[in-house]
């Protein structure tokens, strides 16, 4: 079981899993669309954007295109999903 920090929102694991499984860098709109399309979750796009900002601040994802706003999962994000208990994501 992976740790779930107090700051983590209910959509965060789904966002991380989508980025990990797709292997793609995606903008918020595409992340929101795919979460709903795949029946994983139904966040509003504004919620997705807020969660991406927090996940980036925690080092679990990175914004790789500042202008278009594409995000990809980092190694720390992959480690978190793998349940690496040595990570500090607090």
Instruction: Give the DSSP letter of residue 14.
Output: H
CB–CB of 20/77 below 8 Å?
Answer: yes
Q: What is the pLDDT of residues 23-76, one digit of tens each?
A: 999 999 999 999 999 999 999 999 999 999 999 999 999 999 888 899 999 999
Say what the pTM is. Answer: 0.91
């Amino acid at each position: 079981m992976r740790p779930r920090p107090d700051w983590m929102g209910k959509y965060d694991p789904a966002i991380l899993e989508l980025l990990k499984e797709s292997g793609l860098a995606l903008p918020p709109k595409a992340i929101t669309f795919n979460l709903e399309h795949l029946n994983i979750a139904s966040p509003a796009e504004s919620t997705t954007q807020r969660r991406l900002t927090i996940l980036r601040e925690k080092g679990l994802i990175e914004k790789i295109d500042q202008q278009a706003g594409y995000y990809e999962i980092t190694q720390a994000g992959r480690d978190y999903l793998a349940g690496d208990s040595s990570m500090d994501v607090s």
